[in-house]
């Protein structure tokens, strides 16, 4: 039993070293991994989750709450998390009890994976593989964020997200990426995202220009005259 735990711990440490070195350009040495809040929080989560599966709920929550005080990252021990999760910085991250997270997911500070009320059963989101959730985003409710998707900073996602999509805005709106397969965790680009609000405004301006031309043709609107709103 001790040997199994020892082997599992070594494998976890090796995986975390690779994940952090791959995704954080700020790291300078391997030893720094042991200082990362992400490393500490996920290590304690793995232990707490083991107790949770054994139905030793008090011990699981005790370990979890101690981790919160040390890292400011709150992961409920009931959550199911795959391999390769990286929480960059991590302050204010909350992951709910029935949340399911796939492999190779990256989460930034201030992210909430939560519920929308007092509903029973599965009430937190399912996050697919290779997903990036940017700083301050809130994903609320029991639905799936598809594989290879990214959630823009500050977005509030309240419904299903298809695979290989980008979500931005409040509430979050989905923009397909030309069906080109992209793994957000390869680039970790939080800036160059589509802006659906800007697209809608551009569409309205084009329609307005078309209406103005029609009014000019009918003699209702004269060129160069501005109509002021009262």
Q: What DSSP string describes 109-156? A: TT-EEE-SSS--SS-S-EE-TT-EE-TT-EEESS-EE-TT-EE-TT-E
Closest CA to 124 of 98, 147, 148, 101: 98
From the DSSP assignment, how many helices (H) and strands (E) are in the chain? Answer: 5, 15
pLDDT tens for each residue of 151-164? 998 999 999 999 99
Number of residues that this document lists for the chain? 230
Asked if residues 146 and 126 have their Cβ atoms less than 8 Å apart, the reply is no
Whether pTM > 0.85 for this model: the answer is no
Please give the pLDDT value at position 35: 87
Could you state, in order of their start, the residue ranges of all structural domains in the chain? 2-193, 194-224
Which CATH architecture fits 2-193?
3 Solenoid (2.160)
Q: How far apart are CA 100 and CA 114, in angstroms?
A: 11
| Model confidence pLDDT, tens digit, residues 27-53 | 888 888 888 899 999 999 999 999 999
Contact 227, 221 (CB under 8 A): yes
Count CB neighbours of 182 within 10 A: 17
């Amino acid at each position: 039993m001790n040997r199994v735990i020892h082997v599992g711990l070594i494998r976890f440490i090796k995986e975390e070293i690779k994940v952090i070195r791959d995704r954080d350009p700020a790291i300078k040495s391997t030893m720094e991994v042991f200082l990362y809040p992400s490393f500490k929080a996920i290590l304690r989560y793995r232990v707490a989750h083991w107790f949770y599966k054994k139905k030793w709920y008090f011990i699981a929550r005790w370990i979890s709450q101690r981790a919160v005080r040390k890292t400011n990252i709150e992961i409920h021990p009931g959550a199911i998390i795959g391999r390769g999760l990286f929480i960059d910085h991590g302050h204010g991250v909350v992951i709910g009890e029935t949340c399911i997270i796939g492999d190779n997911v990256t989460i930034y500070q201030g992210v909430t994976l939560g519920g929308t009320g007092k509903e029973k059963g599965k009430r937190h989101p399912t996050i697919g593989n290779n997903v990036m959730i940017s700083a301050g985003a809130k994903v609320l409710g029991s639905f799936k964020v598809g594989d290879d998707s990214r959630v823009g900073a500050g977005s509030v996602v309240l419904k299903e997200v298809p695979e290989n999509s980008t979500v931005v805005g409040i509430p979050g709106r989905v923009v397909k990426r030309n069906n080109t397969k992209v793994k957000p965790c390869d680039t970790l680009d939080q800036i160059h995202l589509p802006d659906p609000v800007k697209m809608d405004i551009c569409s309205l301006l084009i329609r307005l220009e078309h209406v103005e031309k029609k009014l000019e043709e009918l003699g209702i609107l004269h060129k160069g005259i501005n109509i002021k709103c009262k």
